[in-house]
Amino acid sequence: MKAENINLAEEKQRAREQWGEDPCGAVYGREHEFGSREFFDEVERHRYQDYAPWMPEVMGFNDFAGVRLLEVGCGMGTDLLQFARGGAQVTGVDLTPRSIQISRQHLDVYGERGDFAISDGENLPFADESFDVVYSNGVLHHTPDTAGAVREVYRVLRPGGLARVMLYHRGSAAYWGEIILRHGVLHGELLRGHSPEEIMSRYVEFNESGGRPLVKVYSRRQARKLFSMFSETRVQVEQLTRAELYLLGRIIPEGMFRSLRHSVGWNVIVSARK
C-alpha cells in the first residue's frame, strides 16, 4: 500500500512539474507576450474556432448564469473565463500553482473575477454540496484515481446539480489510428513492449518540456460506469477535424463528417445529474 501511495504521489508531482513548465494551450499564443491580452485572445481563438468550434454550445458556457460553478483542472482559465462571461460564479482549482496564477491573471485581463485554489482533484477542499455545476475538461483521465475524482465531483455537487466532464474516447479515430496503428504497430512501439497507455504518454499531449503525463481512455460504457452513482447520465462524443482523416477528410460531405465526429471523435463528454 505504501509503495502504491508513493507512485501516485510521483504521478501527480510529474504532472505539476510538466504543466508548470509548459501550460496546456500556451503554444498557440506564443507569437505574443505571455499573459498579454493578445496572447489570451489567440489561445481562445484557436480553441473555439480552429480546434473545437462545437465547444461553446456543447459545454454550455452561457447556460449557468447566477449559479456556483467549479472547474476541476482549470489550466490557464480559458474555459473558466467563458463561464464567467456567461454569468456563472466561478471557482477554479488546479494541481499546478502556476496554473492558478495564470488563470487569475487571465480573468483579470478581461475584467472578470473568480475564486481559486491549488488542489488535487481527488481531494477537493470544499464542503459537501457546495456547487451547482462541476466542470472538468481533459483533466480527470490524467489523475491516477479517476473514479475517486468522480466521487469527489459527486460529493461537492448539491442535489440536482450537474457534472460535465470530458474524457478521452477509447473508440476514437485518434486512439485507434494514431496510438494503436501508427505508433503502436507501424512504428513498432507495441512490439517493443510499450503499452497503449505508455504510447499515449509519449504522443497525446503536445509538450515542449518533454513531460510524460499519465493518460487514460474510456469507452462510452466505461464512462457511464464511472458516473453510475449519479441519477441521470448522458454521454456524447465530439472532437474530430478533417485533417485527422487525411485525404478522406477533404472529400467527404459535411453530413458524413458530423456523423463520424459524433461516433469516433476524441472526446467523451459526460453530463451527469446528481
Cell numbers found for residue 58: 456543447
172-204 pLDDT tens trace: 999 999 999 999 999 999 999 999 999 998 888
128-139 pLDDT tens trace: 999 999 999 999
Position 243 scores a pLDDT of 87
Position 206 scores a pLDDT of 53
Position 244 scores a pLDDT of 85
Counted residue by residue, the chain has a size of 274
Position 3 scores a pLDDT of 32
Q: Which of 261, 239, 269 is nearest to 162 (CA)?
A: 269
Q: Which residues are CB-neighbours of 191 under 8 A, at least 6 positions away?
A: none
- Could you tell me where the beta strands, DSSP code E, fall in the chain? 68-72, 89-94, 115-118, 131-137, 157-168, 232-238, 267-273
Position 5 scores a pLDDT of 39
Burial class of 21 by CB neighbour count within 10 A (0 to 12, 13 to 18, 19+): middle
Low-confidence ranges of the chain (pLDDT < 50): 1-8, 20
Are the beta carbons of 99 and 76 closer than 8 angstroms?
A: yes
Position 10 scores a pLDDT of 62
Are the beta carbons of 156 and 135 closer than 8 angstroms?
A: no
Half-sphere exposure of 15 (CA within 13 A, CB side): 25
Q: Which of 107, 53, 117, 51 is nearest to 84 (CA)?
A: 107
**Residues 86, 61: Cα–Cα separation, whole Å:** 6
Are the beta carbons of 84 and 63 closer than 8 angstroms?
A: no
Burial class of 112 by CB neighbour count within 10 A (0 to 12, 13 to 18, 19+): middle
Domains and CATH numbers, the chain: 2-273 (3.40.50.150)
